[in-house]
Amino acid sequence: MEVIRNSRVMQQSVKEYIHRGNSIGFVPTMGALHEGHLSLVRRCREENDISVVSIFVNPMQFGASEDFSRYPRDVEDDMAELRKAGVDILFMPVAENIYPEGFATYVNVEHLSDRLCGHFRPGHFRGVATVVTKLLNIARPTRAYFGQKDFQQFLIIKQLVRDLDIDTETVMCPTVREADGLAMSSRNQYLSPEERNAATVIYRTLCEAKEMVISGKLTPVEVKSLMEKTLSAVPLVEEVQYASAFDPETLEDITSLNVTIYRKKNILLAIAVRIGKARLIDNELVEIAGIKGGNER
């Protein structure tokens, strides 16, 4: 595995691979790699000639009171995992290389960036969109891979790729879960054993809500209040930031499951909660076309 720390060197290296007709697959990460990241890497390797992974804890996407300084970093372990996984290039720039003195250009995807997590983390998606645009310009991948756990991030990246004519296919891969359903996340490391146990309520709530939607028993408004109630019943859940059904294209709230009103095939059930020092998110996409009773609501 070649380790590149400079964006110009990285650009030169991929240029040569592209010139030789190779496809480039890219997995951008902030490190502290877990099985979720490694599943993206495997898919990336399967579908491309050359696999590139980046590790960069992007300061621009963290708010002043957020966890940038304590975000888990384990470069040695990460490198060992990526070597074992057969990655060709690891791009690991320093912040000064990505944001040199005088840096003044930002990418802001309107509307989508203000909803859900954007409401609780102002500026976060501007930071994500800016760094991902830069990373795509540097690595020039044929395909870039992202996890469904960060569904809103994926929508925003898809939009910026389209709007800015970036020649990359964006691929969303399934969320990887622990045996008890908790979505894998680098931030799970912040949880004490009791908090880790409490966090299982997130996936349980999504499954319960999905079941209610599929059986046609509840309206979206009732689903929202059921989700909030289930999450709030766990004392270690300190804050439910959102828990509801959303339109998976616009992230607007859904008020009806009547397909003639709603006109879409899927809904997004999504949750963000605070447990201890961790802010955890998760989601499920639910197909509603043809569900029992769903068309009547």
Site string for ligand PAF, 139-158 (x = CB under 6 A): -----------x--x-----
Cβ closest to ligand PAF, residue 14 vs residue 218: 14
**Which of residues 52, 107, 131, 218 is near ligand PAF by CB under 6 A?**
131
Examine residue 195 and tell whether it contacts ligand PAF (CB under 6 A): no
Residue 37 falls in the annotated catalytic set: yes
Nearest to residue 175, comparing CAs of 211, 150, 201? 150
Could you give the CA distance from residue 124 to residue 118 in angstroms, rounded to a whole number? 7
Examine residue 28 and tell whether it contacts ligand PAF (CB under 6 A): yes
Q: Which of 37, 111, 119, 124 is catalytic?
A: 37
Pair type for strands 24-29 and 143-147: parallel
Examine residue 7 and tell whether it contacts ligand PAF (CB under 6 A): no
Residue 17 CB neighbour total at 10 angstroms = 17
Cβ closest to ligand PAF, residue 40 vs residue 286: 40
Cross-strand bridge partners of residue 29: 55
Examine residue 29 and tell whether it contacts ligand PAF (CB under 6 A): yes
Examine residue 272 and tell whether it contacts ligand PAF (CB under 6 A): no
Examine residue 209 and tell whether it contacts ligand PAF (CB under 6 A): no
Please report, for residues 95, 201, 235, the alpha-carbon distance to residue 198 in angstroms, rounded to integers and kept in the order given. Answer: 36, 6, 8
Examine residue 269 and tell whether it contacts ligand PAF (CB under 6 A): no
Q: What is the DSSP letter of 190?
A: G
Residue 272 CB neighbour total at 10 angstroms = 21
Interacting stretch for ligand PAF, rule CB under 6 A, among 22-30, 83-91, 167-175, 222-230?
Answer: 22-30
Could you give the CA distance from residue 247 to residue 255 in angstroms, rounded to a whole number? 10
Examine residue 90 and tell whether it contacts ligand PAF (CB under 6 A): no
Examine residue 136 and tell whether it contacts ligand PAF (CB under 6 A): no
Are the CB atoms for 170 and 161 separated by under 8 Å? yes
Q: How many residues interact with ligand PAF (rule CB under 6 A)?
A: 10
Examine residue 129 and tell whether it contacts ligand PAF (CB under 6 A): no
Residues 91-105 as b or e (16 or more Cβ within 10 Å = b): bbbeeebbbeeeeee
Q: Coil, strand, or helix at residue 170? A: strand
Residues noted as catalytic: 37
Binding stretches for ligand PAF (CB under 6 A)? 28-30, 58, 61, 128, 131-132, 150, 153
